[in-house]
Structure 1
Amino acid sequence: GTMSNQLGVKVLTEPGDEILIDEKGHIFNYETGAASSLSGVQVRTLHGKDGKLNPGIL
């Protein structure tokens, strides 16, 4: 659920970090800025295929 996602973001990032997710990612579309407010990170969306990001675009 939402808190599981946010726990993962919190333990794997530091304030000021940027996380990259697919543009259809749950964190971006349904968690209403929780990553920014709880962990101090910026969410950047990228266009993927079937919900997966190609390492070449990173």
Structure 2
Amino acid sequence: MASIEVGRKCIKTAGREAGQECEIVAIIDENYVEVKGDGVKNRRCNIQHLEPLAE
């Protein structure tokens, strides 16, 4: 998976919020990160359900 780091913008690819843009705010462990965004609640998310955006 492309670089998963705090501050990285992503698109959610699974779940109710699929297609929404979010930002990684914390790394929980090797499988989960905490994300937040305008249309995304502040919650943990599996990194396999995120698609990082090009910088």
Give me the TM-score of the superposition, normalised by structure 2.
0.24
Give me the TM-score of the superposition, normalised by structure 1.
0.24
Structure having the larger proportion of residues in helix = 1
Structure having the larger proportion of residues in strand = 2
